[in-house]
């Protein structure tokens, strides 16, 4: 007996109708953001290692979870992408499209995490980035597009968590204040956080370890350190969201999982999911990232939404059912000729969704297959039909069956099918 294989740990095989839902979600996103002038970009799934290490040297995502690719010479130069913002900014730095540049993307990312429900080693995101303007109205547009997308797929129990991380001298002073605060209580910090403190004090705020909770809660608040322009920028973001009626929760310790964020940061929590995996998306501003990747000093803002988790949240809320898929017509043929082959080809070329049985099965077995297919009409071709160049049309959900001329099948069929159907909602 030969060996059997399974999908790698932390990955999933996705079948219909779930795969139909995935396609529908991606199509809905594409439609949603193209209404706002975003164009799709398709970056490669791996990049030079430095693209990612540049953006997250102090983060678990980059330090511990990257799928680094071993090259033939044994040196590791490249890695599978753990996220796509860095790739999109690398694309910009390399090709310099005109500003403002509004780009969206969809596709898988790879992180070597401990797998559990809602946390996978390969997971999909849809996301967008705007490079160029540092106008707070862009932050509002980006957040609103994410919020309205959750609404569009039917999610009702999503919360927006909002913060500003500041930038420039205010941010420097704040990071220093954190260093002093945590540094004064080093013994009370977890070992992991002591390590993080040396790399990036801001990230200690992201610690979920219980032993750090008290110190994190007592840490200085960034709001007290925001420079006047940053405070005004954040106030304008909030005014915009208020004007749109988009509720948010201010979350002063929201620092996010990557190093590059400045000023506005946000996350979306789905209350229908377990608290450990309830983040269904997040994003923010990253005004220094393009320059870090060798490009000009161009500000940026964007988000990434987790497709796997959005669909889990939809399951929990009973939203976004799979679109109607499958076929409309099933051809049942008990003749040795090419009638079924020709009929399927003709109908498919006319845009009708048609399947048939193979292997010369009995009439009874083919009718069972027709039933299972979900088709609304079965087209029967036996020896008599073949000889007379006719086809018998049998409605699958009640109604009289009748025989029509072979050349009239398409015309007679049309009124029995309920119009075009596709994968989109
Ligand atoms: P992040 O850049 O880590 O904030 O990721 C953005 C979104 O991607 C998160 O809010 C999740 O919805 C999703 N996500 C991140 N990591 C995973 C993972 N390992 N498995 C499934 N979804 C993930």
Domain CATH for 39? 3.30.930.10
Give phi and psi for 102, each to the nearest 5.
-115, 115
User: Per the domain annotation, does 209 fall within a domain?
Assistant: no
Same domain, 379 and 235: no
Range of the domain at 141: 18-167+227-317
Dump pLDDT digits (tens) for 9-30. Answer: 999 999 999 999 999 999 999 9
Same domain, 237 and 380: no
User: Per the domain annotation, does 265 fall within a domain?
Assistant: yes
Same domain, 101 and 246: yes
User: Per the domain annotation, does 158 fall within a domain?
Assistant: yes
From ligand 1's centre to the CA of 53, what distance in Å?
18
Of the candidates 317, 347, 375, which is a domain's last residue? 317
In sequence order, what DSSP letters do the residues of 283-302 get, joined into one string? EEE-TTHHHHTTS-S--EEE
Dump pLDDT digits (tens) for 338-370. Answer: 999 999 999 999 999 999 999 999 999 999 999
Same domain, 299 and 341: no
**Whose Cα sits closest to atom 4 in ligand 1?**
282
From ligand 1's centre to the CA of 120, what distance in Å?
9
Please confirm whether the linkage preceding 423 is cis (ω < 30° from 0).
no
Same domain, 288 and 348: no
From ligand 1's centre to the CA of 118, what distance in Å?
9
Evaluate if residue 101 carries a pLDDT over 90.
Answer: yes
Q: Which atom of ligand 1 is nearest to the CA of 119?
A: 20
pLDDT category, 59, cuts 50, 70, 90? Answer: confident
Sheet holding 377-381, edge to edge: 354-356, 329-333, 377-381, 390-395, 402-405
Dump pLDDT digits (tens) for 208-223. Answer: 888 999 999 999 988 8
The pTM is what?
0.91
Evaluate if residue 421 carries a pLDDT over 90.
Answer: no
The sign of the torsion formed by the CA atoms of 294, 165, 114, 190 equals: positive
Q: Which atom of ligand 1 is nearest to the CA of 121?
A: 19
Evaluate if residue 169 carries a pLDDT over 90.
Answer: no
Same domain, 41 and 155: yes
245 DSSP 8-state letter: T
Same domain, 244 and 345: no
**pLDDT score at 158:** 98
Residues above pLDDT 90, as percent of the chain: 77
Same domain, 148 and 284: yes
User: Per the domain annotation, does 2 fall within a domain?
Assistant: no
pLDDT category, 55, cuts 50, 70, 90? Answer: confident
Same domain, 334 and 312: no
Question: Per the structure, how many domains does the chain have?
Answer: 2
Lining residues, ligand 1, CB within 6 Å = 83, 111, 113, 118-120, 123, 125, 257, 279-282, 304, 306, 308-309
From ligand 1's centre to the CA of 314, what distance in Å?
16
């Amino acid at each position: 007996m030969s060996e059997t294989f399974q999908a790698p740990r932390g990955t999933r095989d996705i079948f219909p109708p779930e795969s139909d839902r995935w396609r529908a979600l991606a199509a809905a996103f594409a439609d949603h953001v193209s209404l706002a002038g975003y164009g799709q970009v398709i970056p490669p799934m791996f990049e030079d290692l430095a693209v990612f290490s540049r953006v997250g040297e102090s983060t678990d995502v980059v330090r511990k979870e990257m799928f680094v690719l071993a090259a033939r010479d044994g040196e590791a130069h490249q890695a599978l992408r753990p996220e796509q913002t860095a790739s999109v900014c690398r694309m910009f730095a390399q090709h310099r499209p005109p500003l403002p540049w509004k780009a969206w993307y969809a596709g898988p990312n790879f992180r070597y995490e401990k797998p559990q429900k809602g946390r996978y080693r390969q997971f999909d995101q849809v996301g967008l980035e705007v490079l160029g303007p540092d106008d707070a109205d862009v932050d509002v547009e980006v957040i609103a597009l994410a919020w309205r997308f959750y609404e569009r797929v039917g999610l009702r129990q999503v919360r927006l968590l909002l913060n500003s991380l500041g930038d420039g001298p205010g941010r420097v002073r704040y990071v220093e204040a954190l260093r002093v605060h945590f540094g004064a209580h080093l013994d009370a910090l977890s070992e992991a956080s002591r390590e993080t403190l040396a790399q990036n004090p801001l990230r200690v705020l992201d610690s979920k370890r219980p032993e750090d909770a008290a110190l994190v809660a007592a840490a200085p608040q960034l709001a007290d350190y925001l420079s006047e322009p940053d405070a005004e920028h954040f106030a304008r973001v909030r005014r915009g969201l208020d004007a749109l009626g988009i509720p948010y929760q201010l979350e002063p310790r929201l620092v996010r999982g990557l190093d590059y964020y400045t000023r506005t940061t946000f996350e979306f929590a789905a209350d229908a999911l377990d608290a450990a995996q309830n983040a269904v998306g997040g994003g923010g501003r990253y005004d220094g990232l393009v320059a870090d990747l060798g490009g000009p000093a161009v500000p940026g803002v964007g988000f990434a939404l987790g497709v796997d988790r959005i669909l889990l949240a939809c399951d929990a809320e009973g939203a976004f059912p799979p679109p109607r898929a499958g076929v409309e017509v099933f051809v049942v043929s008990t003749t040795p000729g090419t009638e079924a082959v020709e009929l399927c080809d003709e109908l498919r070329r006319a845009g009708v969704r048609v399947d048939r049985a193979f292997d010369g099965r009995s009439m009874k077995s083919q009718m069972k297959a027709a039933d299972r297919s979900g088709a609304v009409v079965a087209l029967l071709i036996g020896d008599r039909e073949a000889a007379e160049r006719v086809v018998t049309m049998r409605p699958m959900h009640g109604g009289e069956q009748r025989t029509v001329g072979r050349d009239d099948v398409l015309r007679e069929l049309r009124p029995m099918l309920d119009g075009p159907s596709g994968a989109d909602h």
